Structure 1
């Protein structure tokens, strides 16, 4: 080979090498985490909203939608994954590969109509998970008992799905659980007795718009709940367990059930700002303590069996007639005056 040919050969070789992708040694993203995300994207049908998940870029780059790496501790492992508003090309279950992100602390799956099927067992591999939100999807089946294996869980929100079956009794075994929200599903059965054994951290339970029924366990009186919403179910009997002057309760929403207890005998939290018990069979008088509530801004006791004069004072006369109407013999402003 002549010297001219040799030079030409090396020029061609150099040009061809220059067109090859050069591996980046400056990527912060953990390579295993990155591969999991790329697999997850593929299993979801490569939705257009995840076009930023590009194998040629660093997954710790802010351009990767919904992905957050741990920069504070400089591990650069993925700690937050938010899959929201994805237009999946076909019906798809939650991929089990999502359980292969061992440092994940927050998992949010929201507003994905084509997401179907049960909650996968692989989610129990997320042993550092604190916040689990799966909302506004079409996942179905029951809320699995195995959720209680994730001992780090702080908050669970499975609202606006198609979950059915009974409430898992084992949730009370979660030592750090602060609250659960299972609104707008097809859950049935009763509230487990074990829910009275939630830790002192537990402050919120919202179960509105399901098909839950039966009596509310007396064990729940042990809880110091800030937020309670059991509305639009089929609960019966006594719900006075949620009241108490020693509690920090801010909202009690029990509307549209079949509850029946003497409201006049309950004591009220001084922090109560919302009381909605409409459309039940609740009887007795309105508690005088309502007049002392400084923060009360929502009250509805309509469509019950309440009697007696509405206490005068506080914020009670700021509510209109619709807050008190259709009771057995409730009277006084803003309703017609009581007969003497």
Structure 2
């Protein structure tokens, strides 16, 4: 009789274990995060590349695109990477993304049909360190509120249709290392605050191929990054503030602007490997300091108002790809690799 009672007690438990699949018992994905991801799929128009996203499988194992979950309990979706999706038509950034409150990395790229503004709800993502939205048709201003996400480490918003002005608050981000804002329709001047980033770890700032205009602020004398690209805008004024013997800059690109300054008075940092100043209004004689740049691999000062003999030595002559085209169409530059001075 006792044996029968025990069997009757154990039977529901055995049945429960049979009914609950091993996959369900081992699933990492939390129900509310799976629900948010399935809503994201629906908001994107159910693209075929997300066919593996279904309610019967663990979202931490979904493939084709990246859904990364944290390694320790409680498990949360910490990474979302959506790219090259076959969107059925113009679609805005899915609002359900901003219900994934533990996201640390968000990447949306190579989707021409992804449109609309960057939603203000992005500030819900308090743990976000990497924000990549590039090569899309996302438009509107860069949200000033991005500066509220104090964990941001890397921002890439290049190759979109973003407009408006540069947010003066971005330099207040305490841990920012990389900012790519090139190839948009951002206009207006560079704010003074871009010369005094709170983070001392900023290594890259690219603002090229926009509609930026006005005089470059003197405060940018304090900007020291490895890679700086302001090329192909409408910036003017004294671009010499971007240089300095003490700076660690390796790659600086100012081509296609209206900068006007005496290059002969510029002191170049010893780490410069690439220097592109073409298509400006720079004048004066090229300084001898250029011959001391031991890491120089690219140089272009063509289409300016430079004059006098080209300094001889270093990597300025006979070092491919630095050749006559690097010095062409100036006022009166002369000497190798150009024709001799008269």
Ranges of 4+ aligned residues in structure 1 off by more than 4 Å: 20-23
The CA RMSD over aligned residues, in Å, is: 1.7
- 2: CA distance between counterparts of 1:211 and 1:254? 14
CA contact (8 A) 1:233 1:257 kept: yes
SS of the residue 1:141 aligns to: strand
- 2: CA distance between counterparts of 1:197 and 1:294? 29
> For 1:13-71, what per-residue CA distance to the aligned partner results, in whole angstroms no more than 9, with x for missing partners?
xxxx9xx9958121012222211111101111110111121211111115362111112
SS of the residue 1:111 aligns to: strand
Partner of 1:275: 275
- 2: CA distance between counterparts of 1:187 and 1:21? 54
> For 1:231-286, what per-residue CA distance to the aligned partner results, in whole angstroms no more than 9, with x for missing partners?
11000111112111111100110001111001111111111010000000001111
Shift of the alpha carbon at 1:148? 0.9
**Aligned 1:84-233 pairs, distance under 5 A:** 84-199=83-198, 200-233=200-233
Which TM-score applies when normalising by structure 2? Answer: 0.90
Partner of 1:251: 251
How many residue pairs were aligned?
321
Partner of 2:236: 236
- 2: CA distance between counterparts of 1:111 and 1:38? 21
> For 1:298-333, what per-residue CA distance to the aligned partner results, in whole angstroms no more than 9, with x for missing partners?
100000011111111111102211000111111110
Shift of the alpha carbon at 1:149? 1.0
Shift of the alpha carbon at 1:76? 2.6
List gaps (5 residues or longer) in structure 1. 1-16
CA contact (8 A) 1:41 1:47 kept: yes
Partner of 1:8: none
Deviation larger for 176-185 or 119-128:
176-185
Matched, 1:335 2:338: yes
Which TM-score applies when normalising by structure 1? Answer: 0.91
Shift of the alpha carbon at 1:179? 2.4
Partner of 2:325: 322
Deviation larger for 176-185 or 37-46:
176-185
> For 1:213-244, what per-residue CA distance to the aligned partner results, in whole angstroms no more than 9, with x for missing partners?
01111111112111111111000111112111
Deviation larger for 23-32 or 239-248:
23-32
CA contact (8 A) 2:294 2:314 kept: yes
- 2: CA distance between counterparts of 1:48 and 1:278? 46
CA contact (8 A) 2:53 2:62 kept: no
List gaps (5 residues or longer) in structure 2. 1-15
